[in-house]
Chain A
């Protein structure tokens, strides 16, 4: 058993502020508000200096005093510190002075930002003594839990809707996890998962381990600040499913400013959703913080298709508080966004990345993000995971016989004429 961390002090209700011990709990007993990790920043300030961080390995754990575990990380120790790419060609295409892409398409080991949250959740699960870990997921989260649990020697279960495509199931099965398909509607699967977590004492990364899991997202915000040369970006565009990533990047920027690691400069966060499932963006546009559920999401951006976003309310408040806003885009715009990012920067993103790029385009065109500003786009998963979304939409190869004459006639002469 690890000695309690002197930095990570409690879990705390986001509604009423009541404090709870650092157990596998996630809801306040009094008002059912979500619990969140709380820290002793006065204890962290003298320890977590720029020099200390810079002396550590290039992983998300270089900010470990701000992550909710007691001892050393034991799962996903290589995760994070993905490239922050200065995207000059994409900046010109979108018409903004300066643009960066935070490229989590190359996050280790499963090519999505979920490896960040899973490494924290499973490291904490071990500290709390869980022998079995689980999640309910349709894609990236399942892959990440399966892979990270395998490398840590933890037994894992992945619960999926029974009708999920075979390709996505394979990305979890390969790691030797137990994949359970459940017949039933979305909310029935939800209820079953919460019952399983309670009854069998499993560590469900996004149920009873949720306060730990969610904090992993902050590392993306810390890395952005450090990689920009220790400053908070003026504008950050973030894809929203539950809205958790946006609220955690907002928290990360605030923590770095509070600790004096960056200047306390104004910044704004912007949320991106697909029109076929945009409960948070639509509430934001209506000027309310009441998020109406979307019973049947219809979009190719499946990793963002959460109809009842748990952190929607908090995401709206983060956007309002910073002067940001939200946008949503159609499936055609999602595909155009994927292609634009690939053609300009050589980065192949999954559909959520297309959502982020196309929403940024709209935010810049409408003046919500000023053209003379500097922005960061959070790209959260690799395009190889959602190839079906763009199949047949990127053109076809030109076919010729194996002869130089054919090449000259059908390729070279046409291309030089076009140039």
Chain B
């Protein structure tokens, strides 16, 4: 069953120039949809929707994290003090 997840991605300096989302699209059968982005020399921040099979989305997120991208659901800060 297809589902959609809304995520904030934060790219560290070493990944700012790498075409990470293109690579992700080639490796996993998920639909990437960028909704907002801010990229500087130092850091990249992207709001992204990922659509596909739940397991494929999970694998795509694990791949991003392995690469060094910080991945958070748009509902960040769910745990508070």
| Chain B residues closer than 8 Å to A32, beta-carbon distance | 6, 8, 35-36, 47, 74
Given A27-B6, A32-B36, A135 and B76 touching (CB < 8 A)? Answer: no
User: In the complex the two chains form, is A304's CB within 8 Å of B74's CB?
Assistant: no
Is B40 part of the binding interface, using a Cβ–Cβ cutoff of 8 Å?
yes
Tell which of B8, B75, B79, B81 has the most Cβ of chain A within 10 Å.
Answer: B81
Is B15 part of the binding interface, using a Cβ–Cβ cutoff of 8 Å?
no
A32–B9 alpha-carbon span in the complex (Å): 12
| Chain B residues closer than 8 Å to A15, beta-carbon distance | 36
Closest to A192 in B: B78
User: In the complex the two chains form, is B45's CB within 8 Å of A290's CB?
Assistant: yes
**Among B10, B36, B47, B72, which residue has its beta carbon within 8 angstroms of that of A190?**
B72
Closest to A308 in B: B76
User: In the complex the two chains form, is B80's CB within 8 Å of A141's CB?
Assistant: yes
| Chain A residues closer than 8 Å to B21, beta-carbon distance | none
Instruction: Report the minimal beta-carbon distance from B20 to chain A, rounded to whole angstroms.
Output: 17
A30–B35 alpha-carbon span in the complex (Å): 7
User: In the complex the two chains form, is B73's CB within 8 Å of A194's CB?
Assistant: yes
Of residues 37 to 81 in B, which have CB atoms within 8 Å of A's CB atoms?
38, 40, 42-43, 45, 47, 70-81
| Chain A residues closer than 8 Å to B40, beta-carbon distance | 290
A197–B70 alpha-carbon span in the complex (Å): 22
A22–B13 alpha-carbon span in the complex (Å): 39
A27–B35 alpha-carbon span in the complex (Å): 12
Instruction: Report the minimal beta-carbon distance from B15 to chain A, rounded to whole angstroms.
Output: 14
Is A136 part of the binding interface, using a Cβ–Cβ cutoff of 8 Å?
yes
The interface on chain A, measured as residues whose beta carbon lies within 8 A of the other chain's beta carbons, has a size of 42
Instruction: Report the minimal beta-carbon distance from A208 to chain B, rounded to whole angstroms.
Output: 8
User: In the complex the two chains form, is A207's CB within 8 Å of B43's CB?
Assistant: no
Given A26-B75, A290-B42, A31 and B47 touching (CB < 8 A)? Answer: yes
User: In the complex the two chains form, is B78's CB within 8 Å of A139's CB?
Assistant: no
Is A161 part of the binding interface, using a Cβ–Cβ cutoff of 8 Å?
yes
User: In the complex the two chains form, is B45's CB within 8 Å of A191's CB?
Assistant: no
Closest to A16 in B: B36
Given A32-B74, A290-B42, A186 and B79 touching (CB < 8 A)? Answer: yes
User: In the complex the two chains form, is B36's CB within 8 Å of A193's CB?
Assistant: no
A204–B79 alpha-carbon span in the complex (Å): 11
Is A137 part of the binding interface, using a Cβ–Cβ cutoff of 8 Å?
yes
Closest to A301 in B: B81
Listed A/B pairs (30) with beta-carbon separation below 8 Å? A30-B35, A31-B36, A32-B8, A32-B47, A136-B78, A137-B81, A139-B81, A140-B80, A159-B79, A189-B79, A190-B73, A190-B75, A190-B77, A190-B79, A193-B78, A194-B73, A194-B74, A197-B75, A204-B78, A206-B78, A207-B75, A290-B45, A293-B10, A293-B70, A295-B70, A303-B80, A306-B77, A306-B80, A308-B70, A352-B81
Beyond the given pairs A290-B42, A303-B80, A310-B77, 12 more chain A to chain B contacts, judged by CB atoms under 8 angstroms and listed by A's residue number, are: A136-B79, A137-B80, A141-B81, A190-B75, A190-B78, A190-B79, A193-B78, A197-B75, A204-B78, A242-B77, A290-B40, A305-B81
